[in-house]
Amino acid sequence: MNGTTKEFGPIRDDYTFFEDHSTEAAEDVRAYVPQLRALVNTSQPVRMLDFGCAEGRFTSRLLEHFTVPPNHLHLSLVEPDDVYRREAVRRLQSRTAHPIPSWPSLPPDLTGRFDLVLANHVFYYVPNLEELILNIVRATSDGGVLIAAMAGQENRLIQFWNHCFALLGKPVPFNTAEDLESVAIRHDLNHQQKEVSYELSFPDSEANRLSIMRFLLGVHFNDVPRKAMLDLFNPYSAGGNTTLRITHRHFVIKR
């Protein structure tokens, strides 16, 4: 993804734990599909880029509900993790009648290439968000659209980030929805946003709490005092479960 500030290889199991115990993906699909149906004509060829596709699980779910005939879908992928990228190609190939180009980062020669770019919860981890957004918009066709999910300061997990890095005396090294909004405003991009809510719920245990924190913090996990991380979940624990109700945002940027 033109570099990443968070390596997912060492936290792959923790990421899967988060996916398996949250309704985030289901709620994102629910919110995306009406937008996509209004914006994209599936009776015509659809040139789609999944930017930061991970192992392709989310896009596979999305395409079950936003149905594009395989001969109309021209799908491309960007994913820096080699294991995820190969798995995504394997998982998604049946969705399209065409070979799937896949890259570890966004190539520079894609001007006007895509009708639809999906970036689902990935912009947190790019080192130069402004440059990347402008490059993606440039890679979008006239009338094309970038749809992105990203959490802001109202999000409980972002607040966990803030607390942990404050304990370390460091700024949060990741981007938030406010950064994406600032880029859109600064460059007068045609954009809209709306809130999407989901639930994270898992059997309460020290191991499970720490798994979520490992997913959130990546390589910074071992620097944060363990008790401080565990205590963050106390207000959300009852009856043997931990349940957080969380809000993030969907952005639509039209070319």
Q: How confident is the model at residue 1 (pLDDT cuts 50, 70, 90)?
A: very low
Domains, the chain, ranges and CATH?
9-254 (3.40.50.150)
Q: What's the whole-number mean pLDDT along residues 217-238? A: 97
What pLDDT score was predicted for residue 6?
63
| Token digits of residue 101 | 């180009």
Q: In the predicted model, is pLDDT for residue 7 greater than 80?
A: no
- Output 116 or 12, whichever has higher pLDDT: 116
Q: Is 239 left (phi over 0), alpha (psi -120 to 50) or beta?
A: left
